[in-house]
């Protein structure tokens, strides 16, 4: 992504049900533009099974954006449809593009049950059936009485799903595959076949389902005017679906749709294979990089920082990499908990925000804090990195990744952004000094550490070289003296 774009994930898991997120974001839009945010990833905006308390991933009605009395509420956890649309309008007025989080893998919270034939599959190997075909009672009828056919009269039943995880007759939790249905082959191979994730698993080979989801996608993008999508749980969806779906949606709007998928795997080969299978129709979150950050943060200095980018998407395919430090799934208490420790957060954010490759995403929980988990805001430190990216992180990049603990890099700046250019040094253990080139443009000038970690300045010599340092377990960012980042 050109022009130093920055995404912000504007939510975290533990926001209270009366959080007024849409209204708060509208008030925050000008501030976000000022610090350099160019894209906002919003949480799922439609009605979930848990009504006012649903984070958005327990999908009930894709068409109810906080407009109808369903699941005990009109607004969603984040507000009403009108507030959502107004917030998107205000973000656009502040030059911020909007990505909508959408979940097309499953549905939860059906209105009625049906009796169906199914087999129970082995949870650890879904290619193996544990029982003969038997009758079970399942929650698969979605009638949306509160919406009463507004926008769509499509009603969901068991034929629109592959399977489910609950038998109402016996009160048994298990993985049930419906008779005559088959898990899709072209999905992640974890658990033998990872088509099934949760709830009622949508059958994306069903022609009626695909047509309905295409209809919904066109309605959604034309109603909300969002600029793209964050695609949830793509490893559980057949690889052919999204290239076709996105192409169909894009034909019906007057702009290029940006999409980023969540393929949760630390295996770069699996991630690259998915990009190939989907013809590069979407970017992907750099999960391997997140895990490198996590391991480095808990290693007590025993992580080789010169290999921090090994096996990552930003190293292998930078144009498709959305880099991040943490998100709602990695928060403490969540199923994928792998929270990067606070002391390492500045190092990690420097590595995604100040380098030339990748599309960085800042997490709401880091920027504003997570009160539920007593996690404090890091806004003051992050604002420095965000402004450095906006004004100084340009030009050729030179890496100095030669030491186990102390690494650095420089950006030589460009002529379009006055006084752009910087030097970054960090250590996950004892601090150190690296002689680095900032370029002849800065020959015989003075640099200072704009993080405030080091008071002393650095004199750049006639060849554009300087000796830049950092303290123990910290990062220092050096820019030309006289330039301000606050």
Catalytic residue among 61, 232, 286, 449: 232
pLDDT for 255 = 84
For the segment 162-209, what is each residue's pLDDT rounded down to a tens digit?
999 999 999 999 999 999 999 999 999 999 999 999 999 999 999 999
- Check residue 81 and report its DSSP letter: H
The reply to whether domains 7-104+207-391 and 107-202 share a CATH topology is: no
Query: Domain locations in the chain?
Result: 7-104+207-391, 107-202, 397-480
CATH 3.10.620.30 corresponds to the domain 7-104+207-391? no
The predicted pLDDT at position 253 comes to 86
**CA distances in angstroms from 106 to 58, 175, 285, 289, 461, listed in the order given:** 8, 14, 21, 28, 60
The pLDDT profile of the chain, 486 residues, written as one tens digit per residue, is 347 999 999 999 999 998 999 999 999 999 999 999 999 999 999 999 999 999 999 999 999 999 999 999 999 999 999 999 999 999 999 999 999 999 999 999 999 999 999 999 999 999 999 999 999 999 999 999 999 999 999 999 999 999 999 999 999 999 999 999 999 999 999 999 999 999 999 999 999 999 999 999 999 999 999 999 999 999 999 999 999 999 999 998 878 999 999 999 999 999 999 999 999 999 999 999 999 999 999 999 999 999 999 999 999 999 999 999 999 999 999 999 999 999 999 999 999 999 999 999 999 999 999 999 999 999 999 999 999 999 999 999 999 999 999 999 999 999 999 899 999 999 999 999 999 999 999 999 999 999 999 999 999 999 999 999 999 999 999 999 999 887
H helices present in 338-422, as ranges: 345-353, 364-367, 379-391
Catalytic residue among 12, 50, 61, 262: 262
Q: Which candidate, 376, 391, 392, places its Cα nearest to that of 424? A: 392
| Known active-site residue 188 | no
- Cβ atoms of 456 and 420 closer than 8 Å: no
CATH of 397-480, one of 3.20.20.80, 2.60.40.1180, 3.40.50.620, 3.40.50.720: 2.60.40.1180
Query: Catalytic annotation on 262?
Result: yes
SS3 296: helix
Q: What is the pLDDT of residues 98-132, one digit of tens each?
A: 999 999 999 999 999 999 999 999 999 999 999 99
**pLDDT given at position 1:** 38
CATH class of 107-202: mainly beta
Instruction: Say what percent of the chain tops pLDDT 90.
Output: 97
Residue 208 has what pLDDT? Answer: 98
């Amino acid at each position: 992504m050109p022009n130093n774009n920055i995404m912000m994930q504007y939510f975290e898991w533990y926001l209270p049900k009366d959080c007024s997120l849409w209204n708060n974001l509208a008030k925050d839009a000008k501030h976000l533009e000022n610090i350099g945010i160019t894209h906002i990833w919003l949480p799922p905006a439609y009605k979930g099974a848990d009504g006012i308390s649903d984070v958005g991933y327990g999908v009930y009605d894709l068409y109810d954006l906080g407009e109808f009395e369903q699941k005990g509420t009109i607004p969603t956890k984040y507000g009403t449809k009108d507030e959502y649309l107004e917030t998107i309008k205000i973000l656009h007025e502040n030059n911020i593009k909007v990505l909508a989080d959408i979940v097309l893998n499953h549905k939860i919270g059906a209105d009625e049950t049906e009796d169906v034939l199914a087999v129970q599959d082995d949870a650890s190997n879904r290619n193996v059936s544990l029982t003969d075909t038997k009758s079970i009672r399942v929650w698969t009828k979605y009638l949306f009485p509160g919406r009463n056919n507004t926008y769509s009269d499509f009603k969901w039943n068991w034929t629109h799903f592959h399977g489910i995880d609950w038998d109402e007759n016996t009160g048994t939790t298990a993985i049930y595959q419906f008779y005559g249905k088959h898990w899709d082959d072209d999905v992640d191979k974890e658990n033998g076949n990872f088509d099934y994730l949760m709830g009622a698993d949508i059958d994306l080979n069903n022609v009626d389902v695909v047509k309905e989801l295409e209809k919904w996608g066109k309605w959604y993008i034309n109603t909300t005017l969002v600029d793209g999508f964050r695609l949830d749980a793509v490893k559980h969806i057949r690889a052919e679906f999204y290239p076709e779906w996105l192409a169909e949606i894009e034909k019906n709007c007057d702009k290029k749709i940006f999409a980023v998928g969540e393929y949760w795997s630390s295996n770069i080969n699996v991630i690259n294979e998915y990009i190939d299978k989907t013809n590069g129709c979407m970017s992907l979150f750099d999960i391997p990089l997140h895990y490198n950050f996590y391991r480095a943060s808990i290693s007590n200095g025993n992580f080789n920082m010169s290999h921090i980018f090994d096996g990552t998407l930003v190293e292998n395919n930078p144009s498709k990499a959305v880099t991040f430090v943490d998100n709602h799934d990695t928060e403490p208490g969540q199923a994928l908990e792998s929270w990067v420790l606070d002391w390492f957060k500045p190092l990690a954010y420097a590595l995604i925000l100040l380098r030339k490759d990748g599309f960085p995403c800042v997490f709401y929980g880091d920027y504003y804090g997570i009160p539920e988990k007593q996690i404090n805001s890091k806004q003051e430190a992050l604002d420095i990195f965000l402004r450095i990216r906006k004004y100084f992180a340009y030009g050729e990049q030179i890496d100095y990744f030669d030491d186990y603990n102390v690494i650095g890099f420089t950006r030589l700046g460009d002529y379009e952004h006055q006084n752009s250019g910087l030097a970054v040094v960090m250590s996950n253990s004892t601090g150190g000094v690296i002689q680095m080139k900032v370029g002849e443009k800065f020959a015989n000038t003075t640099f200072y550490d704009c993080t405030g970690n080091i008071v002393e300045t650095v004199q750049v010599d006639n060849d554009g070289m300087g000796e830049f340092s950092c303290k123990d377990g910290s990062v220092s960012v050096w820019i030309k003296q006289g330039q301000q980042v606050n």
